[in-house]
Amino acid sequence: MPGIIVYAGIGNEEANIAQGTANVTAGTPMRTDHMFRIASNSKTYLAVLIAQLHSLGTFSLDTPIAEILSAEAIAGIANANQVTTRQLLNHTSGVYDYFESDTIWHAMLRDPTHQWTAMEALQYARNVPAKFAPGTGFGYSNSNYLLARLVVDAITGMHHPASIQRNILNAADLSQTYYEAHGTPIGELCHGYGQYQGDRNIDDSFAFNQGYGMADGGMVATARDLARFYMAIQDGTLLDNEAKHTLFDNSVPDGNSQAGLGIFIETKDDKEVWLHGGALVGYLSDVLYYPATGNVLVFFDNGSGQELNDVYDTLSEELSTAFNQH
């Protein structure tokens, strides 16, 4: 494994630890202030923004997206005339996950530096049957968040990165977070290393654009800033009580978890924990937040692949087990 970053906040104390390498070729040691592509942890930022808009009465989470989006945006999306924004955010829409398409991976490998847009990526989810009728099951789908960001753009009349910057990053003083390809880069972004070229080699995925800069996984942050984001959700900085409840109202079962809007909820040793994870080739991340105590754990790793994933799973499980004792 090239490198790891761990942030732990317990009460008024914190520990921030980095080990290993951020850039193998340059021999750059991993630092706690290295920026990291947090992948699907980005979904929580969009969900929080939408909870804010819903609580302000800007729109209703339960309005079918067909009443908000253009015919072009929803063309070929299964059951788009029934799917609501709430169902997009808690993955009960049944919409096919574009990232499961082999075809888009071939396209990414053919042009690894292409900057993808939501409309381009959604082409790989169009005219594909729904996995289930809206509201009747759970199926994690990155397509949901590309559609949800189109909803935000439509109801606010502005590009959603600007709303995230103003309503979340500025509001919570998250100065070590930015939206890749849309915000001003901050600090030094670490390189990721993983398997993506059809062989067993571990390659540098830094310049391999896997949809960087899209709403399902486009945020870049330090471990400490990701932890502070969760703190700001709980302490009222970003959401009043009504809006905060919106994230967890009508949560749906997902194995051992309940899926809220952009956040999963579990119980570990009788303690409620909010969590989410992120995975791109070369970038793995997890966050666990205990709302009753405010304790928070963030774990970053810049290596992926079958063996490295096993190491990551073992380390993250050991960390979370130890952390849960506090």
pLDDT, residue 155, reads: 96
Tell which CATH architecture fits domain 3-323. Answer: 3-Layer(aba) Sandwich (3.40)
Cβ proximity of 2 and 24 under 8 Å = yes
pLDDT, residue 4, reads: 97
pLDDT, residue 306, reads: 79
What are 193-245's pLDDT values in tens digits? 998 877 777 899 999 999 999 999 999 999 999 999 999 999 999 999 989 99
Per domain, the residue ranges of the chain are 3-323
pLDDT, residue 325, reads: 84
Q: For residue 316, what is the DSSP state?
A: H
Print the SS3 string covering 95-158. Answer: CCCHHHCHHHHHHHHHCCCCCCCHHHHHCCCCCCCCCCCCCCCCCCCHHHHHHHHHHHHHHHCC
pLDDT for residue 78 is more than 80? yes
pLDDT for residue 108 is more than 80? yes
For the segment 109-121, the average pLDDT, to the nearest whole number, is 96
pLDDT for residue 256 is more than 90? no
What are 291-302's pLDDT values in tens digits? 999 999 999 999
pLDDT, residue 269, reads: 84
Residue type, 161: P
What are 3-39's pLDDT values in tens digits? 999 999 999 999 999 999 999 999 999 999 999 999 9
pLDDT, residue 319, reads: 92
pLDDT, residue 250, reads: 77
For the segment 121-135, the average pLDDT, to the nearest whole number, is 97
What are 142-179's pLDDT values in tens digits? 999 999 999 999 999 999 999 999 999 999 999 999 99
Pairing of strands 28-29, 219-221: unpaired
For the segment 300-317, the average pLDDT, to the nearest whole number, is 92
Q: What is the DSSP string of 167-181?
A: IIIITTT-TTEEETT
pLDDT, residue 100, reads: 96
Chain mean pLDDT for the chain = 95
Residue type, 205: S
What are 278-290's pLDDT values in tens digits? 999 999 999 999 9
pLDDT, residue 279, reads: 96
Rounded to 5 degrees, φ, ψ at 47 are -65, -40
Q: Bridge partners of 289?
A: 274, 296
Closest CA to 38 of 254, 299, 245, 290: 299
- Within 8 A by CB and 6+ apart from 80, the residues are 64, 65, 66, 69, 74
